[in-house]
Amino acid sequence: MKKFYNVAILGATGAVGRTMIKVLEERDFPIDQIKLLASPRSAGQELEYYGMKYKVEPVSPEAFEDVDIALFSAGGSTSKQWAPIAVEKGAVVVDNSSAWRMDENVPLVVPEVNPEDVKWHKGIIANPNCSTIQMVVALNPIHKAKKIKRIIVSTYQAVSGAGAKAIKDLEEETRARLEGKYYYPEALPAHIAFNVIPHIDVFQDNLYTKEEMKMVNETRKIMHAPDIKISATCARVPVFNGHSESVTVETEEPITVEEARKLLSEAPGVVVEDDPFNNVYPMPIEVDGKDDVFVGRIREDLAFDNGLSMWVVADNLRKGAATNAVQIAELLIKYDLIKK
CB 47 within 8 A of CB 53: yes
In three-state secondary structure terms, 146 is helix
Residue 274 inside a domain? The answer is: yes
Clarify whether residues 167 and 293 are in a common domain: yes
Residue 340 inside a domain? The answer is: no
| Domain range for 185 | 132-316
Q: Whose CA is closest to 245, among 311, 307, 196?
A: 311
Give CA separation, 228 vs 34, 208, 224, 320, in Å: 41, 17, 10, 22
Clarify whether residues 14 and 142 are in a common domain: no
Clarify whether residues 262 and 167 are in a common domain: yes
Bridge partners of residue 272, in order along the sequence: 295
Clarify whether residues 136 and 116 are in a common domain: no
Clarify whether residues 119 and 143 are in a common domain: no
| Residue-level pLDDT, tens digit, the chain, 340 residues | 779 999 999 999 999 999 999 999 999 999 999 999 998 888 899 999 999 999 999 999 999 999 999 999 998 999 999 999 999 999 999 999 999 999 999 999 999 999 999 999 999 999 999 999 999 999 999 999 999 999 999 999 999 999 989 999 999 999 999 999 999 999 999 999 999 999 999 999 999 999 999 999 999 999 999 999 999 999 999 999 999 999 999 999 999 999 999 999 999 999 999 999 999 999 999 999 999 999 999 999 999 999 999 999 999 999 999 999 999 999 999 999 987 6
Active-site residue, 234 included: no
Clarify whether residues 100 and 137 are in a common domain: no
Selecting among 130, 143, 199, 234, the annotated active-site residue is 130
Phi, psi of 89 (to 5 degrees): -80, -5
Domain count, the chain: 2
Clarify whether residues 22 and 115 are in a common domain: yes
Active-site residue, 130 included: yes
Clarify whether residues 159 and 117 are in a common domain: no
Clarify whether residues 143 and 92 are in a common domain: no
CB 101 within 8 A of CB 129: yes
Q: Assign residue 124 the CATH number of its domain.
A: 3.40.50.720
Clarify whether residues 58 and 24 are in a common domain: yes
Q: Please state, in angstroms and rounded to a whole number, the distance separating the CA atoms of residues 99 and 83.
A: 10
Residue 227 inside a domain? The answer is: yes
CA dihedral 23, 28, 31, 32 (to 10 degrees): 140
Task: Name the pTM for this structure.
Answer: 0.96
Q: Assign residue 229 the CATH number of its domain.
A: 3.30.360.10
**Can you give the pLDDT at residue 41?**
86
> How do residues 149-179 score in pLDDT, each as one tens digit?
999 999 999 999 999 899 999 999 999 999 9
Q: Please state, in angstroms and rounded to a whole number, the distance separating the CA atoms of residues 235 and 220.
A: 21
